[in-house]
Structure 1
Amino acid sequence: MAEALPGLTMDMWTEILARLPVKSLMRLRCVCKSWCSLIDSSYFSLLHLQIYNNKPKYAIAMNCDKTAVYSIDTFRKIDEIFKTPFNCEVICCKYGLILMCAFYAITPDEVDEDEMVFHNPCTRKSWSIPRCPYMTWTCWLGFAPSTNDYKVVAFVYDNSSIVVYSSNANLWRIKDRSDAHVRGLLSFEDADEFYCKGALCWLGFEKDKPPGVHNHLVSFDFDSEEFVFVDLPDALKQPGLVKINFVLSESVAIFAMSSHSACIWVLVEDGVDKIKSWRLWYTGDSNSKAHRFLTRGFRTVIFNVEKNTFILSFRSNIFSYNFRSHRIQHLEDYYYSYFGIYMESLVVHNRNQRKILTYHNVNGEESTELVRV
């Protein structure tokens, strides 16, 4: 195929291939050796992640039985891409990788439950990572673009510290308990975290402030493995606000609504020094029905800028909310353990690889189990 269009250089082919879905690329690996080498390279994997997923296209809903992919634009189900192994618990899904905790039966009465496993549903590759050295409170999967490194950061239960796993080094590192780390952990509120530009972000609070009042944005950068703190504008520090954290054009944004008004603030970077400052992006009227609706406390937020709409998950329900018209729509009643943005990824990793095997249980139904090989 490459020889059929001699006017195109390899760089041009690279740009074309980087815009194709993973299923197509897996087939195109068989065209010629040069394409196979390109598609399998870490350089192309990163390029495809940036180009093909330049804006959110898909949402993913996962439970113990199946994994469904939806179009963000129409919220119609596209495919069921993965059946969660019955001996695994999904932790999160990010950058096309599913992070799971695997449970293996050692004896009929003993279970080994501390192994974490990466699975790429597009390439159907799975691999385990070394056991975390501590009992952890919670953990997230992230990506460091400067080193093309997939990482897991875990908050430790009892000693205000964090541990970070690097897939490039295939090991965990215990971070020093600096003042910034302790402050980052103390200001963490579960359920409002989100990702932006290779960082895990959430709204921080101070211990001596009233509940629900946030004073700063906290982010953990997966490149530097450091916490960064940015003060919120005074308008977002007021008590009684309902807030939604999201990403707008690769920038952190916060939607806030009181009983009187609604607004959106965006964190921008100015100048060579990339000084961060907040800018008011939208102001509008409040809505009593929307205000009551948003006080439920939604777990996941996906923003569709073309439609001025948030996709929100609450327990077993998924809703859309238009912040300009205040229209609320129930999209799906789906029992899931995870809901979020889904990206197609070419990440392939052969170290400590595990296989997903299928078998038939006593009822004759097909199931899956993650097994050591």
Structure 2
Amino acid sequence: MAKLPTDINMDILSRLPVKCLLRFKCVSKSFCSLLDSQEFIKIHLKRSIETNSNLSLILSGTPASILPSSCYWDGKIFSASLDSLNLGVELDHPFKNCKGETLMIDSCNGLIALQNDENDIALWNPATKEHVMFPEFWSDLKDNVYVVFDGFGYDAVNDDYKVVRLIQFGTESVEYTEVDVYSLRTNSWRRIRVDFPYYSPRPWNGTFADGHVHWLVTNNPEDDIANLIVAFDLKSEEFHEVPLPHLENRNEVLVMFVGTLSGRLYFCCLYDHSRPVNVWVMKESWTEAFSIPRRVGDYVKPLSYSKSGGKILMDNCEYAEDEDDIDIWELFWYDLQNQRAAADQVTIHGVPQGWRDTIVCVDSLVSLAAYAGSGVAGREGRMS
């Protein structure tokens, strides 16, 4: 391959999984230089996204020490290839040996933003095992913090990865909201001056799609269910509103949430067990993509399309009737054409049972050092 033109080498190598490419770095200096180049990294990532390949399901225990299942996870995070989904491999994440609870904020281009309640945030590439710790943030927060929720994504215009943090202050209710943005290129936090007249009925972290981080919010502090989506543009660092799809009986919705499918924002809402789970996808406007009959579970979440696009991987939970029991979680492929479960439930061996969080992450060679400098792990930052 060394005698082939560089563009042909890139085309061939861009079709291979990250694990193989990492081994190939040992072949020669020229190979290592090619695979480390930003041009190749972006070509490989683009092909993976376009072909819906090199995807991994990342699973972690939900950070809630009062839940009976939390002891089974013990801060562990697992990965399973979306092509097979039969074996979970424990990952050495940045907060594995830290105290406190760790949760996944979101995934973008192979990077995962992790939050630890005692050590704040880290960006981590599970495929390359590279990570960067954020500069300290919590030291100057006031005591009357009402709720904090984050979002993570990629600013394609400035070629930068950013985390946006919304801090709502108040004692018994929200009095005002502070917005802070972390830039990987500067490895620093800064406060931005924007108006945020919204409230979060459920302070879930944001979802990244199409250059924006999205949250379900309400503009009425008395509402207990969202009535719109607010999107933060990572380029302009401004908010704008996204209306919800038309819902005939919004007051009867039990749970609604947003996520991403093949890079597109989706909206999902759950009613009682007699009604199906409806999923809308944002293209130029909301389009009802599919509807799935409600299974026995109390929680249903779409995760990823299959490579062919004919099936979708669903995460399903049945809450335990007794608080001392463990919630039952299962994965299954749903056949969109035939409108039925495609096969028996998916079993990932080696992964604990019980309450968990799941995200889909593309395996990539995206280098944190290329953005934040060499020796990024533990690198000091600054607050401005």
TM-score, structure 1 normalization = 0.71
CA drift of 1:166 comes to 0.4
TM-score, structure 2 normalization = 0.69
CA drift of 1:318 comes to 3.0
Q: What's 1:221 paired with?
A: 233
Amino acid at match of 2:129: R
After superposition, residues 152-301 of structure 1 pair within 5 angstroms as 152-158=163-169, 159-178=176-195, 181-183=196-198, 186-187=199-200, 189-191=202-204, 193-207=206-220, 211-212=224-225, 214-235=226-247, 238-242=250-254, 243=256, 245-256=258-269, 258=271, 259=274, 263-269=278-284, 277-282=285-290, 290=295, 293-294=297-298, 296=299, 301=302
Amino acid at match of 2:303: I
Which runs of no fewer than 5 residues in structure 2 stay unpaired? 61-72, 170-175, 320-325, 379-384
Q: Secondary structure at the match of 1:354?
A: coil
Q: What's 2:81 paired with?
A: 71
Q: Alpha carbons of 1:31 and 1:308: their partners in 2 closer, same or farther (altered >3 Å)? A: closer
Whether 2:147 is the aligned partner of 1:128: answer no
Give the alignment partner of residue 142 of structure 1, picking from 131, 142, 153. 153
* Partner Cα distance (1:175, 1:278) in 2: 30
Relative to its length, the structure with more strand (as a share) is: 1
Q: Secondary structure at the match of 2:15?
A: coil
Q: Alpha carbons of 1:228 and 1:318: their partners in 2 closer, same or farther (altered >3 Å)? A: farther
After superposition, residues 3-18 of structure 1 pair within 5 angstroms as 3=3, 6=4, 9-18=5-14
Counterpart contact for 1:268–1:278, Cα < 8 Å: yes
How many residue pairs match? The answer is 323
Q: Secondary structure at the match of 1:85?
A: coil
Q: What's 1:311 paired with?
A: 315
Q: What's 2:2 paired with?
A: 2
After TM superposition, the structure 1 stretch with the greater mean CA deviation from structure 2, 18-27 or 116-125, is 116-125
CA drift of 1:320 comes to 3.2
CA drift of 1:165 comes to 0.6
* Partner Cα distance (1:114, 1:308) in 2: 35
After TM superposition, the structure 1 stretch with the greater mean CA deviation from structure 2, 28-37 or 254-263, is 254-263
* Partner Cα distance (1:44, 1:75) in 2: 28
* Partner Cα distance (1:222, 1:188) in 2: 23
Higher RCO (CA-CA < 8 Å; seq separation 6+): 2
* Partner Cα distance (2:290, 2:127) in 1: 38
Q: What's 1:365 paired with?
A: none
CA drift of 1:153 comes to 1.5
Q: What's 1:364 paired with?
A: none
Which runs of no fewer than 5 residues in structure 1 stay unpaired? 104-112, 270-276, 356-373
Give the alignment partner of residue 118 of structure 1, picking from 111, 120, 123. 123
RMSD (Å) for aligned C-alpha atoms: 3.6
Counterpart contact for 1:302–1:312, Cα < 8 Å: no
